[in-house]
Each structure stands twice: as C-alpha cells, then as structure tokens.
Structure 1
Amino acid sequence: MSSDDIIALVREDLRTFAGYRSARSEALDGRIWLNANESPWASYADSATTVRRYPDPQPAVLRERLARLYGCSAEQLLAGRGSDEAIDLLVRALCRPGQDAVVLTPPTFGMYAVCARLHGTRVVEVSLVDAEDGFACDFDTVAEVALASEAKLVFLCSPGNPSGTALPLDAIAGLARRLQGRALVVVDEAYAEYSDAGSAVSLIEAQPNIAVLRTLSKAHALAGARVGCVIADEALIGVLQRCQAPYPLPGPSVAIALRALSDDGLVQTSSHIATARGERDRLYRQLRALPGVRRVYPSQANFLLVRFDDPQGAFDRLLGAGVVVRDMRAAPGLHDALRISLGTPEQNAVVVDVLARSREAA
C-alpha cells in the first residue's frame, strides 16, 4: 500500500489544498523580524518565553523529541493541541460532510462522535462486547460495518476510555488489512504509557492506513499545556498540516513540553507511571472486596471502571468527602458505573475508606 493509496482516502477537494502559509512557515533567518505584524515591544507577561512573537507551527525540536519517544520519524508526526485537534483534523480531511461515515465502538471517548457530528459526518456504532475478562472489540463486525457503511475512519481507543481495555495489535493490523484502500484505522493511545501492550505505531510501516494518536496530557502530566500528536503516513501528515490552524502550539506550551521531555523529566514520569500501575492493582483488589460493588473492570489505563448496586449513593458519598469521580451512567451499557481515576496512594486510600465506611453506616 503506497502513500498514493492513503491520499486517495482524503477528500478530493483537499488533496492538493495548499492551506494557509503563515509568516513562520518560511524558513528564514534574521535579526530584525518585521514580517508578521507583531509588536516590537515585549509583553508585560514575557518571562523566559517570548509571547509577542508568533510560534513555530511545528517546532523541530519538539517534533523530533516526540518522534524519538514514540518510535517514528519526525516526518510521520504532526504536533497539535492535544488529541482533540488531531481527531478534528482527521474527520475534516477525510470525511465529506453529509456523505461519509465514521465507525465508533461505544462505550468510548466522546470527542470522536462530537467532531463527526459537528462536521456533518454520519456516526455508525459497533458496541464493545462486555465479556467475562472485560470489554472486547468485535473486529470482524467492525470491518463488516465499516465496509457496508463506506466509512472513511474507524476510531479505536486502546487502552479504551472508559473500558480500560488494551486492544491486540494483531487484530488492529488485521482490521487495517481488510479496510485497505477503503478506510483509515485510527488508534487513540492516550493511556498507552500505563499499558503492557505495544504501540500501533509499529504497524504503520506495513499498514499505512493506520494512524495513532498520542498525548502528553495523561502520563506526562501536561493536561493544561494541550500538547499531543498524530502519527501516520508522511503523505497524510502533510495533508493534515495544511488543514491545521497556522499557529497551533503556543510558545509557553512548547517550552513546558520540552522540559517535561528532558531526560530528568522522563525519569520522573517513569517513576510516576510505575507508582500509578501499582496503585491500580491495589485499588482494583480493594474495590472488588467492598460490599455494594458489583464489578471492577481490569484496566490498562490510569483509571478503573466500577459498577455499583447504588451508583448515585456511591457518587454522592464520595462527593460529600470531597472526592470527584466521573459519572458514566449516561454512556451506553453503563447505567450503574462510575469511572475512578488513579490518584496518589493517599487519595486512593480515601476512596476506599469512604466507600467502605459509608456502606457500613448504611
């Protein structure tokens, strides 16, 4: 499968779309910058980062550092505002409003459907299977539905949100082969750092109709900086960049990201990931032992999905103790479920204590 085959999936009117060329798009070297109508005076807010200048649309150092982290080339990676921007770019670039479709596997991350519907793109769903060992994806049905609906995009979340399930790479590769020339398989790996599974980035060379989403919001603790990326075939990355806003990455966010991705920053992140994984296993065991807990799903992410006999009561008791968790009862098939993110060991102990004591009092 060649890059031309990938470009054939792009909306025909965007295949040669030049996009907007900002003043920072030109590779120029100068001492006095008078090409972007910026203020010549520093802002009162300026400190280590100069915010009066427009930022580089794709900072080379950040792009290279992310590529090294995720095991791809810099040319295969487009950085942007978290994973949300990448999702929106993929829908806009590949799906013709009112004509094409995307396939989702609920319960899953809500932004896939939001972006599709805002763009006038049909959403087709293949629900995850609630199996004995957790939620599972029916890849055969996903392929059949994608082909029947002539979908351009299939969104998979691995590890899933809110399921916590990591999808097998061989099944993802098999799905991409079945959809070759027909659709792009997008694997959202926002929680991959917490998982034992390998990354779908390793599949792209053999199956260029796979794209992977990554973010610094979770394991790298940069949710407020809004830095993420999409990794895909180089030709598709070029199309997405031409569809992207001129200055997607604020300078202060880039500076923060580079600091977090330094050697010392990565050592700290690795330590926090190890602690979170240990806490996940401990909290899983403790919650399962509590009366009133119907089920705790195994998780490869930094949260646990929990079903309760009285989910409203559990939610209210936790909130009364100052603990805010995510109410999942509006999601398909999760009428009795809450999603509990992993906190520090002390915070997780509060969760267990509140649920145990409140049950005893009842």
Structure 2
Amino acid sequence: MNAGIDEVLALVRTDLQAFAGYSSARSAAVQGDVWLNANESAWANPADAEGRSRRYPEPQPQALRDGLASLYGVQPQQVLVGRGSDEAIDLLVRALCVPGRDGVLVTPPVFGMYAVCARLQGAPLIEVPLVDAADGLHADLDAVIESARARNAKLVFLCAPSNPAGSDIALTDIERVAEALRGRALVVVDEAYVEYAQRPSATSLLATHANVAVLRTLSKAHALAAARIGTLIAAAELIAVLRRCQAPYPVPTPCAELAVQALQPGALARTRERVATVITERERLRTALQGLPGVRQVHASAGNYLLVRFADAQGAFDALLAAGVVVRDQRAAPQLDDALRISIGSPEENDRVLAALSARRAVA
C-alpha cells in the first residue's frame, strides 16, 4: 500500500481496523443446488409468484457493483453499495469517529443526515456556516480547513452541489481541502445532485488523493428513490474495512435487479435526456420566479431545485399548498428564515408553481 492509503486506514478507529465483522451465509464462496445454510424457507411466499425473495440477497450484488463502477468510472472494488447515501454516511461516522473525540465537520445550512449520524455516534459536530454572498450561499473552504485542523475533525462533508443552497464546489477547491487535511481527515464529497451540475465528478481525484471519498445515489437523476441505492466510492482498502462494518444483506434483490436495468444503455440515455430537461426547466423557473413581486432572491443552483427567498414565505407556502403543490419549508434552517426550496418538476408542474404564485400576487 502507498503512503496515502496507509494514512487513510489510520483514520479508522483502531478497534475496528482489524475487525472481521459478521460472516453471513451468502458471504461464503461455496456452490451447491440444495441450499440449507441460511435457515431460509424451502418454499416461496404465496405472494411471491416468482420466488425471488425467498433467499437472502448477495451482500454486494456483483452485477450492480459492476454497473455502478462502470457508470462512475471507477473499479468495482472501490464501490460500496448501501441503503441510500444515508447508510454510507452512518458507516463512515461509526467506523472513523471515536465518540466524544473525533469530530464531523459540516457546512450548514446543509443536508441534515450528517449531523444526525454524528449525534447518534456521540461525535462532536463542527459547523462552518455557508457564507451568504451577493450571488448565493457558498462554502468557506479556508474556514473549513482551519476548523478541521483546530477541532480534530475526522470527517469533512462537502455537499456539492449543496442542498439546499444549490451552490457547487470546484474540483480544484476540493483538491485543495483534501491536500490540506491529508493524514488528518477524510474529505467526503456528497454528489447526490452532480448530474445536474454538468461537471466532472470528484471521483477523478481518488487516484491522487486517498483521503477523498465520494457519495453518489440513484435516487435523484435516475429516479429510483424508493429503491434506496446509494454508493460510496473510495480507496479499495477503505471500502473493504467499511464492508466488514456494514450490516449483512443491505440491498434487497428486487431493488438490485431494478437498479441493474436502470444502468443499461437505453435507460441511461433516457435519464440523460431528462437531466437536460431539468436543467432547462431550472433556468426557466428561476427567471420567471425572479420576475414575481414578493420574491426577494432566487439562488443560482447546480442541483434539481431552487432556493427561493420571499418577503412572505408563509404566504407563498400556503398559496402553493392551496394549489396542491408541496415544497420544502427551509425556514427552520440557519440563515434561511425567509426561504422555500422548490424541486424542479415537469414543465407542467413548474407551470403550476408559477400560476399559484402569480395568482397570489394578483389577489394581493
């Protein structure tokens, strides 16, 4: 192993570095035609006509791992598949952070699961708020580096594009953070929305920066939110450690099979078309919203959503809800006491958003 890999493995809790984990029945490399090693039923459930759910699934379905590796341009051994990105976040915090000692750095307002997982592990939460500039909310990466060093951060989560702010982080800046924190922290780049950002993935940094890990998901651009297919991409040696810490059978067989079909060329081509539609609609909706009275600011976004500030956010929320449109109320988040997050829907759904807010203006 090279020095970079050694440094990253040293970030793992010392009591887990040689942890063997649970050896499930499906992890044994054995073959046969009568399977009596996992205490499964000999018969399919009457509701399961094809009998696909009688057996436990592969812990890491190979066809899915291979498909995800191909999609993301990495090697299969660099891929950990889990129950959405949430499981990967939780695994990272539990495997790397000693409770009460090793910190988790986040950049609020941001996706809440980083803080939830830190709290559950008893890991100190280090907050470096986004900077509210004229062109939107942006990560203060100099402050991130300084705080991570000063407060013993073991994990640094960079949400790029940021949810809900919509701002992105350039790969050169991610690289700068990783280099500054080499040997100190794992820099985890959450790219749940990167398909809408139209930039290369931070996976391109893995070959030169072993302390970078990347989160990806099939929930957003690939429209498989209910299947719960999340991916952590990192150095193969770190993935091997995390696999030993992961609960067995994380991906149900029907979900894995659906995801494999979604990674076929025809499905991927349709997904790219829909991503392009979302990007076009995002800019159309942004321009139209900026022209409405009562809208203070529409933040530029690299995701499939817009963060919108209103003079009367409650009134806007109520008007949308009365029209059957549900958006995300962000007013409880720091710096966002006047903001709603609006996901980009179909052109027809976006028209309903504009109609509801325009009608409110006419009544007012």
For the criterion TM > 0.5, the same-fold answer is: yes
Per-residue deviation, 1:357? 1.1
Query: Match of 1:348, as an amino acid?
Result: N
Matched ranges for 1:197-276 at <5 A:
197-276=199-278
What residue in structure 2 maps to residue 44 of structure 1?
46
* Partner residue in 1 for 2:139: 137
State how far apart, in whole Å, the 2-side matches of 1:323 and 1:136 are: 28
How far apart in 1 are the matches of 2:284 and 2:13? 48
Aligned residues: 362
Deviations 1:76-130 (CA, angstroms, capped at 9, x unpaired)? 0100001000000000000001111111101100000000001101101111111
- Distance in 1 separating the partners of 2:239 and 2:273: 32
TM-score (norm 2): 0.98
How much is the aligned-residue C-alpha RMSD, in angstroms?
0.9
Instruction: Work out which of the residue numbers 343, 346, 358 in structure 1 matches 2:345.
Output: 343
Q: Which amino acid aligns with 2:162?
A: G
Identity in percent: 59
Contact 2:159 2:189 in 1 (8 A): yes
**Aligned partners of 1:79, 1:47: CA distance in 2, in Å?**
27
Give the CA deviation at 1:45: 2.5
The AA in structure 2 aligned to 1:115 is C
**Matched residues in 2 for 1:80 and 1:60: separation?**
13
Which whole-Å CA distance do the structure 2 matches of 1:112 and 1:150 have between them? 16
- Letter of the 1:78 partner, please give it: L
Equivalent residues of 2:13, 2:98 under 8 A apart: yes
1:75 matched to 2:77? The reply is yes
The 3-state SS of whatever aligns with 1:58 is: coil
Aligned-partner Cα distance in 1 for 2:4–2:343: 41
The partner residue of 2:285 within 276, 283, 286 is: 283
Q: Report the alpha carbon displacement of residue 2 of structure 1 after superposing the two structures with TM.
A: 2.8
Q: Which ranges of structure 1 fall in alignment gaps of 5 or more residues?
A: none
Contact 2:44-2:51 within 8 A present in 1 as well: no
Q: Check conservation: 1:217, 1:224, Cα contact below 8 A.
A: yes
State how far apart, in whole Å, the 1-side matches of 2:47 and 2:290 are. 50
**Alpha-carbon deviation of 1:241?**
0.4
Q: How does 1:1-362 map to 2 (within 5 A)?
A: 1-48=3-50, 50-362=52-364
Q: How far apart are the structure 2 equivalents of 1:47 and 1:306? A: 48
- TM-score, with length taken from structure 1: 0.99
Runs of 4 or more, structure 1, over 4 Å off, are: none
8 Å CA contact 2:45, 2:51 repeated in 1: no
Query: What SS does structure 2 have at the residue aligned with 1:87?
Result: helix
CA distance in 2, matches of 1:175, 1:344: 37
